[in-house]
Amino acid sequence: MSLRVGVVGATGKMGRVVCAQVLEDPALELVAAVARSNAGAPFDTYVGRSTGLPVSDRREALLEARAQVAVDFTHPDAVLANARWYLEHGLHAVVGTTGLGPDDVEALRALAEKNGTNAVVAPDFSFGGAVLLHIARIAARHFPYVELLETHLPSKAEAPSGTTMNTARELAKVRPSPSPVVTSRELAPGVRGGEVAGIRVHSLRLPGPPGIEEIRLARAGELLTISLAAYDRAPFANGAVLAIKAVASRPGLTYGLGPLLDLDGD
């Protein structure tokens, strides 16, 4: 029997790609497509194939369609309320929308445990992103200087990217302390970038793919650069589909794709 999946943010850039992969997978059934606008429009036009589904602008459409898993690729402003709602309404949740801070994730973990519903939350669902973080965690233990650089489209909702926010927080947990002192005086405001969890981050916004996440680590006389380019959105949808299939069998909240890929230490 196939797993019944509802996607919220289904008409968006990520939502469409996730829906297309769900529709292609014989183990999955797309039963609801939710967005903020265009309610009643045929969903077919968004995925270029016959689905028989209208776009709905109500989360309740997931319950009416007896969805088992809710997938969220919406907006940072909406994600926390959405995720709470799924977990409180008997739905397992796969949350790819960025913008959840550590406190939000812990609140959702408690909610999942209380309600007996499960969640997989990942600001980066790509296999490459999980491997990048895994390698960087190892490297950051030995390289005290760390700076992050990310490049995305000018239309991206946030800066820095959710991946970079998460990478900074994770590397801050393992890097040697105290962090090294950089003495350069800024001659132009902000020229040294922003700071997340004590790590410098730099966001470039340029038209045209790909999205690039780069980590530069250094120690005296050595520079290690780890870089990942995403040429389209399919890699993120691949990981989301893996999470959709895994979420029912992972009690509580799983953070990141690493644990689903059996990466040691994740």
Which residues of this chain interact with ligand NAP, rule CB under 6 A?
A: 8-15, 35-38, 73-76, 78, 96-98, 122-126, 157, 162, 236
Q: Within 123-218, where are the H helices?
A: 127-140, 162-174
Contact 154, 206 (CB under 8 A): yes
Based on CB atoms, which residue is closest to ligand NAP, 117 or 160?
160
Based on CB atoms, which residue is closest to ligand NAP, 6 or 96?
96
Based on CB atoms, which residue is closest to ligand NAP, 12 or 258?
12
Q: Coil, helix or strand for 211? A: strand
Q: What end-to-end distance do the CA atoms of the chain give, in Å? A: 31
Q: Compute the least distance from the CB of residue 21 to ligand NAP, in Å.
A: 13
What residues contact 24, with CB distance under 8 A and at least 6 apart?
Answer: none
Based on CB atoms, which residue is closest to ligand NAP, 130 or 146?
130
Q: Compute the least distance from the CB of residue 188 to ligand NAP, in Å.
A: 28
Complete edge-to-edge strand list for the sheet that includes strand 3-8: 55-56, 28-34, 3-8, 69-72, 92-95, 119-121, 253-255
Residue nearest to ligand NAP (CB): 12
Q: Compute the least distance from the CB of residue 123 to ligand NAP, in Å.
A: 5
Q: Which residue, among 151, 101, 127, has the nearest Cα to 238 in the 3D structure? A: 127
Q: Which amino acid is at 232?
A: D
Q: Compute the least distance from the CB of residue 72 to ligand NAP, in Å.
A: 8
Here the contacts of 136-141 (C-beta below 8 Å, separation 24 or greater) are: 136/167, 136/170, 136/171, 136/215, 136/217, 136/226, 137/170, 137/171, 137/174, 137/265, 139/215, 139/217, 139/224, 139/226, 140/171, 140/174, 140/175, 140/217, 141/174, 141/175, 141/176
Residues labelled as active-site residues: 152, 156
Q: Which residue, among 31, 35, 37, has the nearest Cα to 16 in the 3D structure? A: 35
Based on CB atoms, which residue is closest to ligand NAP, 73 or 145?
73
Contact 121, 100 (CB under 8 A): yes
Based on CB atoms, which residue is closest to ligand NAP, 75 or 219?
75
